[in-house]
Amino acid sequence: MGNVVTTILGIIGAMTQQQTNGASLWGTLQAPTFPLFLTNNPLPNGFPWGSLTAAGSNPYTQAPNTGVIRSYDFTISRGTIAPDGYQKSVILINGQFPGPAIEANWGDTIQVTVNNQITGPEEGTSMHWHGLLQTGTPWMDGVPAVGQCPIAPGSSFTYQFQASLYGTTWYHSHYSAQYSGGLLGPLIIHGPSNANYDIDLGPVFLTDYYHTEYFQIVEDIMKPLTDGGNPKPASDNNLINGKMNFDCSTVAAGDTTPCTDGAGISKFKFTTGKTHRLRLINAGSEGIQRFSIDGHNLTVTANDFVPIQPYTTKVVTLGIGQRTDVLVTANAGNAQSAWWMRSNISAPCTEANQPNALAAIYYDKAVTTQAPTSTAWNVPDPGTCANDDLSLTVPYYSIAAATPSTTKTMVIDYIINATGSFLWTLDGTSARVNYNNPVLLLAEQGNLTYPEEWNVKNFGTNTTVRVVINNPSPAAHPMHLHGHNMQILSEGAGDWDGSSVGNANNPQRRDVQLVRAGGHFVMQYSLDNPGAWPFHCHIAWHVSGGLYSTFLERPADIAKDSGIPMVIQETCTNWKKYTNADVVDQIDSGV
Ligand SMILES: *[C@@H]1O[C@H](CO)[C@@H](O)[C@H](O)[C@H]1NC(C)=O
Ligand SMILES: *[C@@H]1O[C@H](CO)[C@@H](O)[C@H](O)[C@H]1NC(C)=O
Ligand SMILES: *[C@@H]1O[C@H](CO)[C@@H](O)[C@H](O)[C@H]1NC(C)=O
Ligand SMILES: *[C@@H]1O[C@H](CO)[C@@H](O)[C@H](O)[C@H]1NC(C)=O
Ligand SMILES: *[C@@H]1O[C@H](CO)[C@@H](O)[C@H](O)[C@H]1NC(C)=O
Ligand SMILES: [Cu+2]
């Protein structure tokens, strides 16, 4: 990477923000701090959660019902931008990459109309609200073939759901690996606090970045190995809030795509002496990120949607889909000082050609056209491809682990299928969903018999399900469960020993957990949310390759209460109409 990154060109930025990120302001000194909406949409007392607290209120049962609706309108369309200077066709939300912020208070209703204007070529789409529980609205979870049919090209769909938890998350397309093409953005929900800070700097997106279009990458990973199939594509760069410089001299010979050195990096303003909240989000396709700020400690206050007892560290590790809220106090230098923010893709865990992302942090009187000169912390990568030890992450609101009513062991592995493609398996099956037949709609009709390749697990009326994941495969996997926070009971090397459970009185909870290569993790959740909930690896290329399952929860209650609105069936009518006229090339698992 070398000097390209630290040249004056790369600090001032050789391209305009419009050229690199479209209409997005993320990464610029003009990006807003949070809360954003209070000025134009004030609430009676600023916030609606009254006497509810992070330590004393159950986040799963005590969400207020504010009656406030936060409405957004998203138009999804193709565009050409150059986030790191290398020109690329991407899919944008309202012309922006990363997409616009959705912001709400705990207990508000979020309403988002998604207009699918993807053309040349057309694609279906869907939008998933990562980590939100969707209690009572499983059809609003945004996963095609599970809760809805894809949103057909030219049509629109309005999602509406409660901001049931509070903290930091993101939304992203759940149609094939489409989010890797640009369809993602931040979702911030304000709620009770478990640590004091002065300034909320908002989202810090950490994303590995590929110069090849997502559709091409997915085609390549699904191909027979003997026909050029490549299940482990290497990323080309690493971005912070959608920006980074790139050394155009490394572009392959014969590639004539326009490429500009020094496109520009993200910049953040720190106010001297103040404490800043940064909402770290690994929204990449594959890479495990190791985030740090030269000269500064990070105080971790939440993982995913779960506030934890704060602890201090120099490096935070995030697998794909994971979020970590950190507090950083600007007390490391004088008001003129500037510092590098770094996010390194963990080399032992990931294929990456340029793994190290940089952004600049300027204290309030620093010259923002100069490169910081700070030195990186020396914290060697342990190479375990694992999250911080479970003993470090203690939820602020305690919930003990109940005795499970069933335990299901699932193995993550891979196969080479009969025609030579490398596919991932979860519990012996490489999944492939059917866009025309959402599981939730079939369950509503009482149909609980599905093709093997959908990989549906029916947990019936169990009260608590424990899932043991053993991973003899040669890769780490960030495993994500929809509709719930998982209680993480054990994580480590080798298969689970069948008994060890750490901190059973108050285990870490989160919605994505890394399982290391050759390792295991054990999780459980209570079946308090009838629905059809995806459980999958969040690496885009792995879930495309079949590392996916749908967990069916209390299907009798889905059939009985059948509140599924007619607009869901309508997504299928529209999709059927579209697919009758245009053959859809489902190149992967579909999700
Ligand atoms: C960072 O935290 C360590 C351990 O708590 C402490 O010794 C050190 O002084 C802190 N450094 C800064 C720059 O705040
Ligand atoms: C990140 O990479 C840089 C450049 O190789 C290195 O100096 C730094 O120590 C790394 N940081 C961490 C936390 O691994
Ligand atoms: C193997 O997997 C590829 C990719 O999903 C698929 O196109 C092909 O049909 C599969 N082969 C067989 C024999 O199922
Ligand atoms: C349930 O749905 C599946 C998938 O559409 C179908 O193959 C099966 O025949 C259905 N079963 C019943 C009993 O309708
Ligand atoms: C509990 O889950 C298991 C699968 O692990 C399933 O076989 C069983 O039928 C479920 N029990 C009930 C009561 O639904
Ligand atoms: Cu994976």
10 burial level (CB within 10 Å; 0-12, 13-18, 19+):
buried
Residue-wise pLDDT for 551-589, tens only, equals 999 999 998 877 899 999 999 999 999 998 877 789 999
Q: Of 208, 243, 233, whose CA–CA distance to 345 is shortest?
A: 208
In whole angstroms, give the CA distance from residue 278 to residue 454. 38
Determine the distance separating the centroid of ligand 6 and the alpha carbon of 539, expressed in angstroms: 5
Residue to probe by mutation, ligand 4, list 447, 453, 458, 552, most atoms within 8 Å of CB: 447
pLDDT value at 9 more than 70 = no
Q: What are the helix (H) ranges across 187-252?
A: 214-222
Question: Which residues fall within 8 angstroms of residue 371, CB to CB, at 6 or more apart?
Answer: 6, 7, 8, 10, 11, 338, 360
Q: What is the pLDDT of residue 448?
A: 97
Determine the distance separating the centroid of ligand 4 and the alpha carbon of 433, expressed in angstroms: 14
Q: Of 189, 196, 195, 21, whose CA–CA distance to 105 is shortest?
A: 189
Determine the distance separating the centroid of ligand 6 and the alpha carbon of 197, expressed in angstroms: 35
Q: Of 584, 290, 324, 578, whose CA–CA distance to 434 is shortest?
A: 584
**Averaged confidence pLDDT in the chain:** 95
**Averaged pLDDT for residues 331-359:** 96
One-letter-per-residue 3-state SS of 385-438: CCCCCHHHCCECCCCCCCCCCEEEEEEEEEEECCCCEEEEEECCECCCCCCCCC
Run of H or E residues at 251 = none
Percent of the chain with pLDDT strictly greater than 90: 93
Cα-based distances in Å from 513 to 283, 321, 398, 464: 14, 9, 19, 18
Question: Which residues fall within 8 angstroms of residue 448, CB to CB, at 6 or more apart?
Answer: 442, 458, 552, 555
Residue-wise pLDDT for 358-380, tens only, equals 999 999 999 999 999 999 999 99
pLDDT value at 40 more than 60 = no
Question: Which residues fall within 8 angstroms of residue 578, CB to CB, at 6 or more apart?
Answer: 124, 152, 153, 154, 155, 584
Q: Of 586, 527, 568, whose CA–CA distance to 161 is shortest?
A: 568
Q: What is the pLDDT of residue 262?
A: 95
Nearest bound ligand to the CA of residue 221? 3
CATH 2.60.40.420 fits 393-581, yes or no: yes
Question: Among the listed ranges 123-137, 239-253, 554-568, which one has the minimum average pLDDT value?
Answer: 554-568
Amino acid at 291: F
375 Cβ inside 6 Å of ligand 1 = no
In whole angstroms, give the CA distance from residue 79 to residue 221. 24
